[in-house]
Amino acid sequence: MTRPAAVDSPSSFIAHDRPLAMQFVAMYATIACTVVVVHSVYSFGMRRLHRGFGVSPLVRVAKRASGLLFVGLGIKLLTARQA
């Protein structure tokens, strides 16, 4: 009786039914869609926060802090080495 492949093995994530180029297209499209959704939720949330509290110093600090968080995560992602 054979054991099933481990879920975290790299070969279990590769789809063998389509070309490698299409796998990369699907991967980058998924990443792009995730970024768009996260940015949209962030923008909508900041807009609602701005409408609810007006232009207060607390809102400005929250916008700057969350913006810096996104920039920091983006830089970390760009500088991360492939494992």
CB 42 within 8 A of CB 70: yes
**Predicted local distance difference test score (pLDDT) of residue 62:** 79
Q: How far apart are CA 5 and CA 50, in angstroms?
A: 50
Q: How many CB atoms lie within 10 A of CB 20?
A: 10
Q: How far is CA 63 from the centre of its chain?
A: 19
**Predicted local distance difference test score (pLDDT) of residue 1:** 54
Could you tell me the mean pLDDT of each successive run of 10 residues in the chain, 83 residues long? 56 64 82 88 81 74 83 83 62
**Predicted local distance difference test score (pLDDT) of residue 2:** 59
**Predicted local distance difference test score (pLDDT) of residue 21:** 77
